[in-house]
A and B are shown apart, each in its own frame.
Chain A
């Protein structure tokens, strides 16, 4: 696409395909990293970012495609292969030895030796030199743990320079840094770029991505959406590339968004000033009877955090919750379930299903948890509930005794939905219920949500697919950088306006606030 002469490529990945059981994690993705550039990899959760990075660091073997580093084709059999090829990685969680000194960490495995023994004096001197190159002046003999995460990250980068990395991968390096520390890191990244290192930068902070990057690659659902020069693309374009505009086969459902909601009665749920340090600034949310409230915002905008606070999965620092006008204290998930609030997490495998239990056991788990251990759900009751919801949601295979971990993602999601519907909730919070599942299951779940809200269930619907949010929700709460920036009525807005609002907080759109 760009006409200007390009620097030589350091890493070329062509047609990378990686399959996990039942999922195509990467589907023929091309990715090029050039010398002396900062290249951001963008995409929502499940887009394939981390899978692509793990293919490049040798953590996952690739099923198809090729990786070329510095002109030579490589097959990585492990992370050591990738490191030897000159690819260094600095993770969000610093992967250094906290109990060793700074110098030991920097030089680990490359200590200068004299007659077979490590020359510690030379090692520390060399470590100090590498650190100074990055503008870090700390005592290499001090313990690593005595330094802040920011400094530890710089130490990790110096370590990458010791092994003479040609490509440096920074995976969410700024997520736990403050503004000043980010500046320091960016200065280092810029000087590395000057010296010809190729930097692959991953962050969900849009501002930072645009500040530091020369080039962007966007992935969605395991596929390459496109490569862009950062100077020639707007934020809105990137956000819309990340979120996607899939062809609408689901218009039949869209009537849901047009329903009028009676907002005279007390809301089913009213949260006021809900906040938690480091997760969410104070937010107000109302959900009325039979209403679907969408929550839109990018990953890290606070949408999951808000859901977890409403459900009591995390303790709120401030704020109060009312249900039907009565104050409630929701301090634990058990508490929430007793108050007829249900929450389906975005991380289906880790926080949703109990994989080694059967489908039937997973479905009744919610009811059983509410009743406590003494009053067991009887066999007949269980069979009735399980049969009802498996049929209603079309769980496949239709075998209640199948182990849940063997089901596809879409069917696991249906099992979770069944678990929550079986508890007869008044408010159902769904966090990314359609992520990573095929279009058929997606449509099933959307249809079910529309149908249930028609019958009076209140739903909070969180999704990074904005079309889905606008299709189902009557009202959309927009979050950005952990605060609520406004509310839109779906009726008066479209995906473009919503994207603009999320990306820029566009005041023109804000006038539409209900």
Chain B
């Protein structure tokens, strides 16, 4: 039992389950999944589909945060990649062709990757603080997207492109498969190679890691490139969902949701140890929360307040200091033999 309580994913999972429970209690149909033309439908399926974008962005954010960094530019990069893809497809004579769409998607993602490399260059090579370095693109990115679309909202009519966000495969949304594929690739990359442990080493103690021979510059650079590319794919999903390149609203504030998902998943903003599984749970928690808001009928005007309160509760429940404080309170009320001294005390 104690083992389960101590596992770092216990609390994130508990928070998610509580949210699901609240939804189910308020309306039993929450858990209901219906089939229509061989496609599954229902609130749970919506959560899977709508979480895809945040999943992609939050995965990249996890790796960046693990290096002691942060990437504020992900939303802006989404806007750019959508703009690049749609502008290419719109200007092509055959917007409905699979090959056109494929090239558009690859182009959009490549440009996003280059923008991620730019962030990485600023942070890893020039040594600029990550929050400032990525703020540059966060502010400039939407302007770049507007430049690409010549200031208008580009719309297209292309069934293959629409399929990205709105299509179904084996009854489940295609976007969900995209996000799961990203999870699998990132997990394999981080945990099957030594990338994960080297990233953690750099995040925990950059000086010691360098002296141990770890080439931290490449590792940090790579993290921002991954974050950029993943945001690029998220941007494709966003524009596919509305079939338009909306430079002003694509991925707006998604960086905050992504950071939140990472933190909810138990990865410290101080860098170092990271949990990709935790981030996946964090993403589902946030998406469920958003669904909850509409589901239990919170008035739109106070939605942000509701979000804030819930997030605060979840973060407090996960706070080590609060938990040990509560434990101390319990002990002082009901005296028990003193617990093992905390090994984490530092001078």
What is the interface of chain A, defined by CB distance below 8 A to chain B? 20-21, 25, 60, 311, 313, 332-334, 336-337, 343, 345, 350-357, 361, 365-366, 368-377, 406, 419
Contact = CB atoms under 8 A, between A and B. Distances in A.
Given A21-B345, A352-B208, A377-B194, A369 B272 contact: no
A356 B212 contact: no
* Residue from A361, A365, A374, A406 with most neighbouring chain B CB atoms (10 Å): A365
Contacts of A374: 193-194
B27 interface: no
A21 B347 contact: yes
B246 interface: no
Interface in B168-209: 192-195, 197-198, 200-201, 204-205, 207-209
Given A21-B347, A355-B204, A371 B211 contact: no
Given A368-B194, A369-B215, A333 B207 contact: no
Contact of A333 (B213, B272, B345): B213
Contacts of B194: 368, 371-377
Query: Which 4 A-B residue pairs are closest in the complex by CB-CB distance?
Result: A369-B213, A337-B213, A376-B194, A20-B347
B305 interface: no
Interface centre among B204, B211, B347 (most CB of A within 10 A): B211
B213 A351 contact: no
B210 A333 contact: yes
B49 interface: no
A334 B214 contact: yes
B211 A345 contact: yes
Contact of A334 (B205, B213, B273): B213
A311 B205 CA distance: 19
Contacts of A366: 212-213
A469 B111 CA distance: 58
Interface centre among B197, B211, B213, B345 (most CB of A within 10 A): B213
A368 B200 CA distance: 13
13 contacts: A21-B346, A333-B212, A343-B211, A351-B208, A354-B205, A361-B197, A365-B197, A365-B201, A365-B212, A369-B214, A372-B215, A373-B195, A374-B193
B199 to A, nearest CB: 9
Contact of A373 (B219, B343, B347): B219
Contacts of B200: 354, 356-357
B341 to A, nearest CB: 9
Interface of B: 192-195, 197-198, 200-201, 204-205, 207-215, 219, 272-273, 343, 345-347
B247 to A, nearest CB: 36
B120 to A, nearest CB: 15
Given A373-B194, A375-B194, A353 B205 contact: yes
Nearest to A368: B194
Contact of A350 (B208, B214, B215): B208
A104 B195 CA distance: 50
Contact of B213 (A336, A373, A375, A376): A336
Contacts of B215: 332, 334, 369, 372
B16 to A, nearest CB: 26
Contacts of A361: 197, 201
A356 B204 contact: yes
B212 A369 contact: yes
A374 B198 CA distance: 11
A376 B193 CA distance: 5
Nearest to B210: A333
A312 B44 CA distance: 55
Given A333-B211, A351-B208, A373-B219, 20 more contacts: A20-B347, A21-B346, A333-B213, A351-B207, A351-B211, A352-B211, A353-B208, A354-B204, A354-B205, A355-B205, A356-B200, A356-B272, A356-B273, A357-B201, A365-B209, A369-B209, A372-B215, A373-B194, A373-B198, A376-B192
A61 to B, nearest CB: 10
Nearest to A403: B343
B143 to A, nearest CB: 32
Contacts of B213: 333-334, 336-337, 366, 369-370
A373 B193 contact: yes
Contacts of A377: 194
Contact of A354 (B192, B193, B201): B201
Nearest to B202: A354
B343 A419 contact: no
Contacts of B273: 356
Contacts of A365: 197, 201, 209, 212, 214
B205 A369 contact: no
A388 B274 CA distance: 29
A313 B210 CA distance: 8
Nearest to A358: B197
Contacts of B207: 350-351
A376 B199 CA distance: 13
B211 A313 contact: yes
Counting chain B CB atoms within 10 Å of each CB, which of A60, A353, A356 scores highest? A356
Contacts of A311: 211
Contacts of B219: 373
Contacts of B205: 350, 353-355
Nearest to B192: A376
A52 B329 CA distance: 35
Contacts of A373: 193-195, 198, 219
Given A373-B194, A374-B193, A354 B208 contact: yes
A500 B123 CA distance: 49
A217 to B, nearest CB: 23
B209 A354 contact: yes
Contacts of B210: 313, 333
Nearest to A21: B345
Nearest to B199: A373
B53 to A, nearest CB: 28
A243 B198 CA distance: 38
B256 to A, nearest CB: 26
A46 to B, nearest CB: 14
Contacts of B343: 21, 406
Contacts of A337: 213
B347 A60 contact: yes
A151 B78 CA distance: 51
Residue from A368, A372, A373, A374 with most neighbouring chain B CB atoms (10 Å) = A373
B65 to A, nearest CB: 14
B7 to A, nearest CB: 15
B124 to A, nearest CB: 14
A493 to B, nearest CB: 32
A377 B347 CA distance: 35
